[in-house]
Every structure is written in structure tokens, then in C-alpha cells.
Structure 1
Amino acid sequence: MAGQNISDIIEAYLKQILAAEQQIEINRSEVAAQFNCVPSQINYVIKTRFTTQQGYLVESKRGGGGYIRIEKMQFCDQDHYLNRLIAAIGAQITLPRTLMVLQQLIESELISEREARLIATMLTDEALRIKDQTAAETVRANLLSALLDGLRYR
């Protein structure tokens, strides 16, 4: 665990549990106490490392009996999976989120690591050469969505 920060450790812990179960429910303050951190750290880990683009659904309920439910998405077929990714991309996507989607495609064995690196290179701000960040994120989302749509016909 040397060299890992608390976020990495919490992520690994939650993913270890999810490896054995399809869905988990956690109490944010209990997990924070277990790792001797503030509850907002748990929120941060869940918000950044358990996203739809990474293949997770997150539901939370606040209050005394509150919980955070994390579920690893299961797809009946490839089309359903690609539709969910396209919907998660939406109208705009940042490069870090794009990289998350590409990692999901690698893990789902829809593309190779080499293909992911090539695609990532083509979707950088430098390659897009669009000064307006919003416009760049829109073009990136359109290109990535077209790629996902094209994977249907592999």
C-alpha cells in the first residue's frame, strides 16, 4: 500500500467487496470512521471512481438510516451497454471522463489497449485544436459517441 493515497485505498476496498457481490450498501460515516477520514472523502471517491462511465450505478439516501448503494452494471447485451455509455457521455465530455470510458471499453474487451491509446490521442485538446473548451468537449462527445455506435457493427 506504499505510495497509495487514502482515495486509492478506499476505492480498492469498495471494489474488493464489489468483486464478490453485485451491489453493496455502505454507510458513509461508518466507512469514514473505518479509514479515519472525513465523510466527504468517501463522497469524493464515489463521485470520481464509481461513475456510470466506469460501469457503476450509485444511489444514495440521506438521513439517519441513510446509505450509499453502489451497483456494478450488468448488461443483457452489448447494445444495451453501448447505449448506457452513450447516454452517460451526453452532449459534452472532458478528456479525463473520456479516458474512463476507454478504460471501460478495454475491460469489456470491446477495444484493445493499443486502440484505446490511439483514440485517446485523437481526442486530446491538442489534437482537436479547438480553443473554446465547451466546443472541444462537444466535439469530443460527438466523436466518442460515434465510435461507440460504430462498435455495434464490429
Structure 2
Amino acid sequence: MRNISDVIESYLKQIIDQSNQNAIEIKRSEIADHFQCVPSQINYVIKTRFTVEKGYIVESKRGGGGYIRISRIEYQDEIKLINELVNMVQPKISQQGAIDIIERLLEDELITSREARIMASGISRDVLAVPIALRDEIRARILAAMLTSLKYKQ
């Protein structure tokens, strides 16, 4: 069974997909009431599931009329997206950040699920068994090379 974070994420993504502008403005308390959870659960979902690596920009305004705006970053050109991702991973990236990028590529259908598994395996901390100070830099270099190879069809 899916947990509440998965349900909230799916709900918000569905609303974004139905939006004409690929963006939504929500009130944290209203979403929390809808799902009968604490507002901090909504914060957690937004902070972990709607990141730049996953293709989202989150803005918030505090106060009585406050809101949280979640926008899906759209690219018309796959090459521009890949170039942006290559720049994003340099000079180092965490394993979770790299996984988020791989999941985004999969969601945008730029890679297959098999390719995603291969990429994730190649950048895992189990494979990169080097001191932590070097691991994120090596991971970034490997991921950048993988991303660059996606720009060329064959």
C-alpha cells in the first residue's frame, strides 16, 4: 500500500498536469485538511518530491494570504534539458540528487526503465566505494558522461 506522502505527491502532480500553465498555487493548510494530516507532512512532500532535480520550482509566500506555488519546468528541446542537467550535476552531486535526475529522465521518457536501473547502479555508493569527499565528485562526472551520451541518438 502506498504511504500518505506518495498519495499527496500523486494528487499534486495530477493537479499540475491538469493545469493549463504547468503550475499550481496551494495553501498548505487546505491540502493538509484534505488529506487529514499535519501541515508539516505537506512541507515534507514538497521539499522531497518537488525538487529542481525532479523538474520543479517551488516558491512560497508566508502570511495570511500566503501560498505555495509549484511549477513544472518544461523544456521544448531535449538537448537544452540535458545540457541544463549536466550543468546541475557539476562539480558534485549526492546519490539522492542523481537518482532524482534519473527519475526525471524516466518520467519525461528520455530513458527506459532498464536504462534508469543501469544508470542508478553505476552511480550508487556501493559501486563508488571511495572516501565520501571524492564520491560525489566521481558520481557527478559519471552522471554527466551518461547525460551527454543521451544527446546522441546512436
What TM bracket, shorter-length normalisation?
A: 0.7 to 0.9
Show structure 1 runs of 4+ deviating over 3 A: none
Q: For 1:98-128, what per-residue CA distance to the aligned partner results, in whole angstroms no more than 9, with x for missing partners? A: 2221122122232222122112111111212
C-alpha distance in 2, partners of 1:121/1:57? Answer: 27
Matched residue type, 1:113: S
Aligned pair in 2 of structure 1 residues 139, 43: CA closer, same or farther (>3 Å)?
same
Aligned-residue offset at 1:153 = 2.5
**CA RMSD between the two structures:** 1.6
Separation in 2, partners of 1:66, 1:91 = 35
CA distance in 1 between counterparts of 2:90 and 2:66 reads 29
Q: Which residue of 2 aligns with 1:11?
A: 9
Letter in 2 for 1:141: A
Q: Report the structure, 1 or 2, having the larger helix content.
A: 1
Aligned partners of 1:86 and 1:145 also within 8 Å: yes
> Percentage identity across aligned positions?
47
CA distance in 1: counterparts of 2:87 and 2:30, whole angstroms: 33
- In 2, Cα distance between the equivalents of 1:89 and 1:152? 16
| Alpha-carbon separation, structure 2, partners of 1:103 and 1:151 | 15
- Structure 1 unaligned blocks of 5 or more: none
Name the amino acid aligned to 1:31. I
Per-residue CA deviation, residues 39-89 of structure 1 (Å, 9 max, x unaligned), is: 111111011111122121211112222111111111121122113323433
Aligned-pair CA distance for 1:96 = 2.4
Gaps of 5+ in 2: none
Give the TM-score, by structure 2 length: 0.88
